[in-house]
C-alpha cells in the first residue's frame, strides 16, 4: 500500500513535466496544433508497442481490452482539446481548471464502486469548486477567446479515463492495461488523419516527433504510476492526490519562463496561485475525509 501512495504522488509530477514540455513545444515549435495531435498519437502507439513486445499476451482475451480501451480513447479525446487550447492558454490556467475532474471521479466511484465521502469530503468539494470558479475568472481576463466548452469536455473525458482505469485494474493485468490504454489513446488521435487537411498538417509537424517522444515518455510515466496506484488505492484518493499537479505545473512554468524563455502570457503569480491552492486544499481535505 505504501508503494501505491508513492505512485499516486509521482503520477501528477510526471504529468506536470509533460504539461510544461507540451506548452513549450506548442508555443515554440508547432505551427499546426491540430496536425500535431496526430504526431502525439503516433508517439504514444510506438512506446506502447515497445512495452507490449515484452509482455505475455497468451492469457489475455479480447474482452479484457474493453475497459482500458475506453480509458485510453477518452484520454485521447481529452488530449486533442488540451493541445488545441495550449496554443492560446497558459498551462497553469488550463490544468488548474481541468483539475475539477476529481469531483467527477469521486461521484462515479460513489455511485458504482461504493466509495463513500465523509463530511470533510463535501467541504473539500466546495473548496475545489470555489478554486475552479476563481481561476475561471482569471482566465477570462487573460483571453476572451478561450473555449470553456472544450475545457468542460476535457474534464468529462478525464473523469471517464480515471474511472475506467480503476475498473481496468480489476479486469486485466496492470502492464497489459497500460499498453492497451496508450494504443487506444494513439489510435483516437490518429483518427484525425481521415481529414485531408489534418494529414497535410501532420506531415508538416512530423519533424517534431523527437520532442513529442520526450513528452510522451513523461505521459507514459504518468499513466503507469496512475495504473499502479489505482490497483491498490480507491480511485477517489488517487484523483485527490492528483491535485498537486497544477501546483507542480505552476512552479515548472515559472522556472522555464525564467531560464529558457517565456511560455506564459500572464506573469502575475498570486492571482494564479490562490485559486490553484484552493483546489489543492479542497481535494486534500477530500482525501483526508475518506
Tell me what pLDDT residue 263 has: 46
Structure-block grid coordinates of residue 5 = 501512495
Whether the Cβ atoms of residue 32 and residue 132 lie closer than 8 Å to each other: no
Confidence band (pLDDT; 50, 70, 90) for 241? confident
pLDDT digits (tens, 9 = 90+) for 178-228: 999 999 999 999 999 999 999 999 999 999 999 999 999 999 999 999 999
Higher pLDDT, 137 or 284: 284
- Pairwise CA distance, residues 247 & 60, whole Å: 39
How many angstroms separate the Cα of 14 from the Cα of each of 17, 163, 192, 215?
A: 5, 19, 27, 10
- CA distances from residue 253 to 148, 199, 264, 284 in whole angstroms, order as listed: 22, 31, 7, 23
> Does residue 99 contact residue 248 with C-beta atoms inside 8 Å?
no
pLDDT by residue (tens digit) across 65-80?
999 999 999 999 999 9
Residues 24-61 pLDDT 10s: 898 889 999 999 999 999 999 999 999 999 999 999 99
pLDDT of res. 144: 47
C-alpha distances (whole Å) from 184 to each of 179, 191, 284 are 9, 11, 31
* Stated pTM of the model: 0.84
Task: Please give the full DSSP string across 11-28, using - where no structure is assigned.
Answer: HHHHHHHHHHHHHHHHHH
Q: In whole angstroms, what is the distance from residue 5 CA to residue 79 CA?
A: 26
pLDDT at residue 267 is higher than 60: no
Amino acid at each position: 500500500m505504501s508503494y501505491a501512495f508513492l505512485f499516486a504522488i509521482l503520477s501528477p509530477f510526471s504529468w506536470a513535466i509533460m504539461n510544461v514540455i507540451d506548452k513549450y513545444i506548442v508555443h515554440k515549435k508547432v505551427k499546426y496544433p491540430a496536425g500535431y495531435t496526430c504526431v502525439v498519437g503516433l508517439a504514444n502507439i510506438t512506446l506502447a508497442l515497445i512495452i507490449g513486445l515484452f509482455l505475455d499476451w497468451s492469457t489475455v482475451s479480447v474482452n479484457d481490452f474493453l475497459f482500458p480501451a475506453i480509458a485510453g480513447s477518452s484520454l485521447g479525446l481529452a488530449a486533442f482539446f488540451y493541445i488545441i487550447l495550449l496554443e492560446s492558454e497558459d498551462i497553469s490556467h488550463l490544468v488548474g481548471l481541468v483539475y475539477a475532474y476529481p469531483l467527477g471521479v469521486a461521484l462515479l466511484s460513489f455511485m458504482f464502486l461504493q466509495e463513500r465521502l465523509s463530511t470533510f469530503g463535501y467541504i473539500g468539494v466546495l473548496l475545489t469548486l470555489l478554486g475552479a470558479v476563481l481561476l475561471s475568472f482569471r482566465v477570462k481576463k487573460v483571453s476572451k477567446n478561450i473555449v470553456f466548452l472544450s475545457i468542460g469536455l476535457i474534464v468529462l473525458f478525464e473523469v471517464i479515463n480515471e474511472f475506467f482505469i480503476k475498473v481496468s485494474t480489476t479486469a486485466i493485468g496492470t502492464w497489459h492495461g497500460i499498453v492497451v490504454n496508450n494504443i487506444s489513446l494513439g489510435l483516437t488521435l490518429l483518427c484525425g488523419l481521415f481529414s485531408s487537411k489534418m494529414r497535410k498538417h501532420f506531415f508538416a509537424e512530423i519533424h517534431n516527433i523527437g520532442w513529442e517522444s520526450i513528452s510522451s515518455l513523461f505521459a507514459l510515466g504518468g499513466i503507469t504510476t496512475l495504473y499502479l496506484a489505482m490497483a491498490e488505492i480507491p480511485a477517489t484518493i488517487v484523483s485527490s492526490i492528483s491535485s498537486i499537479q497544477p501546483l507542480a505545473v505552476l512552479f515548472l512554468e515559472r522556472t522555464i519562463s525564467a531560464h529558457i524563455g517565456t511560455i506564459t502570457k500572464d506573469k502575475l503569480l498570486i492571482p494564479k496561485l490562490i485559486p490553484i491552492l484552493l483546489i489543492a486544499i479542497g481535494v486534500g481535505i477530500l482525501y483526508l475525509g475518506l
